[in-house]
Amino acid sequence: MLKILNLFLLLVFFLPGYSKILKRPIPDKLVVLTFDDAPESQYTIVAPILKEFGFGATFFVCEFPPNYRDSTKYLNWRQIQALDRMGFEIANHTKSHVGASHLSEAGFEEQLTYIEKKCDSLGIPKTSSFAFPGYDWSPAVIEKLAKEHYDFARAGGNKAYDPETDHPLFVPSWAMTDKNKDQITAAFQEAHDGKIVVITIHGVPDLEHPWVNTAPALFREHMQYLADHHYQVISLRDLNKYIHIKKAQKILFPEFRKRMEKK
Ligand SMILES: [Zn+2]
């Protein structure tokens, strides 16, 4: 009798919750790689290494203000288009890498749609992922992203992403640099029991922003580690396979709202 009751409770409480957010169980060793700020090395160095290992990734592109020091150190749109053709996700990091919380709704929309239009003109699919420039965010920005039908927005926070508790428009990540090899290797160990590890990476190398630099040799070492330990490495967009994103946005909103109010 107790067994039947347990089974009943399992069906009532576990299965509906499960099916609401997850389409299928999150496998262990699932890692999402995200690259920010469009430094040129993401095309010349990162993409070939990712292809060599058969890894997916998301590239959060922006333009910065025109001729930001030396524009040749950044991806041009032909290279961004090539990354799309190679199967990588091209995603939105605003036109000029502006702190989103400081903008009016119209100002933010302009920043967002500039990248969308640029993608459209080059046959790149409409961006469905966003990364907060400088990790700067506000409740209004998240609401706007939801309204504009964005699936994911990536933040910082140094913790694993649990799709059943973390809102898809506030996905936590760890930032890889030259200085935190051990922290990143430890982060990879968190990818189990429904949790996904999301990594933020800048230039490999990053000539314009040395404080977020990752040397190519160290990047390759991390990728080799993931391959040797049989990790699955994908883009944020690829998480569609596992998550009912719109349902997750709705279901997780009340909890998220509480966090927003604390901010
Ligand atoms: Zn950035």
Give residue 9 CA to ligand 1 midpoint distance, Å: 46
Give residue 172 CA to ligand 1 midpoint distance, Å: 15
Give residue 163 CA to ligand 1 midpoint distance, Å: 23
Per-residue pLDDT at 65: 81
Going by pLDDT thresholds of 50, 70 and 90, the confidence category of residue 3 is low
Would you say residue 5 lies in a domain? no
Give residue 205 CA to ligand 1 midpoint distance, Å: 15
Name the range with the highest mean pLDDT among 95-99, 100-104, 117-121.
117-121
Going by pLDDT thresholds of 50, 70 and 90, the confidence category of residue 263 is low
Q: Is the pLDDT of residue 69 over 90?
A: no
Q: Is the pLDDT of residue 64 over 60?
A: yes
Give residue 98 CA to ligand 1 midpoint distance, Å: 9
184-219 pLDDT, tens digit per residue, is 999 999 999 999 999 999 999 998 899 999 999 999
Task: Indicate the SS3 state at residue 218.
Answer: helix
8 Å CB contact between 192 and 175:
no
Percent over 70 (pLDDT), the chain:
91
Give residue 96 CA to ligand 1 midpoint distance, Å: 10
Residue tagged 């950044």 (tokens): 74
Give residue 38 CA to ligand 1 midpoint distance, Å: 9
Per-residue pLDDT at 100: 86
Distance (Å, rounded) from C-alpha 67 to C-alpha 84?
24
Give residue 256 CA to ligand 1 midpoint distance, Å: 23
Per-residue pLDDT at 245: 96
- Number of domains making up the chain: 1
**For the whole model, what pTM was predicted?**
0.91
Would you say residue 145 lies in a domain? yes
Going by pLDDT thresholds of 50, 70 and 90, the confidence category of residue 260 is confident
Would you say residue 49 lies in a domain? yes
Distance (Å, rounded) from C-alpha 34 to C-alpha 127?
14
Provide the domain limits for residue 230. Answer: 25-262
Q: Is the pLDDT of residue 67 over 80?
A: no
Give residue 220 CA to ligand 1 midpoint distance, Å: 22
Q: Give the mean model confidence (pLDDT) for residues 225-251.
A: 97
Give residue 17 CA to ligand 1 midpoint distance, Å: 35
Q: Is the pLDDT of residue 85 over 60?
A: yes
Give residue 53 CA to ligand 1 midpoint distance, Å: 25
Per-residue pLDDT at 8: 52
User: Residue 138 maps to which CATH number?
Assistant: 3.20.20.370
SS3 content of the chain, % helix, strand, coil (to 5): 45, 15, 35
Give residue 252 CA to ligand 1 midpoint distance, Å: 26
Percent over 90 (pLDDT), the chain:
81
Give residue 12 CA to ligand 1 midpoint distance, Å: 43
Give residue 21 CA to ligand 1 midpoint distance, Å: 29
Going by pLDDT thresholds of 50, 70 and 90, the confidence category of residue 1 is low
Give residue 35 CA to ligand 1 midpoint distance, Å: 9
Would you say residue 205 lies in a domain? yes
103-160 pLDDT, tens digit per residue, is 999 999 999 999 999 999 999 999 999 999 999 998 889 999 999 999 999 999 999 9
Residue tagged 């490999």 (tokens): 204
Would you say residue 8 lies in a domain? no
Going by pLDDT thresholds of 50, 70 and 90, the confidence category of residue 7 is low
Give residue 221 CA to ligand 1 midpoint distance, Å: 23
Would you say residue 9 lies in a domain? no
Give residue 253 CA to ligand 1 midpoint distance, Å: 25
**Residues 240, 242, 247: CA angle, nearest 5 degrees:** 70
Q: Is the pLDDT of residue 66 over 90?
A: no
Judged by average pLDDT, the poorest of 18-22, 115-119, 135-139, 239-243 is 18-22
Distance (Å, rounded) from C-alpha 130 to C-alpha 145?
8
Judged by average pLDDT, the poorest of 40-49, 195-204, 250-259 is 250-259
Give residue 186 CA to ligand 1 midpoint distance, Å: 24
Going by pLDDT thresholds of 50, 70 and 90, the confidence category of residue 102 is confident
Distance (Å, rounded) from C-alpha 156 to C-alpha 170?
9
Would you say residue 98 lies in a domain? yes
Would you say residue 14 lies in a domain? no
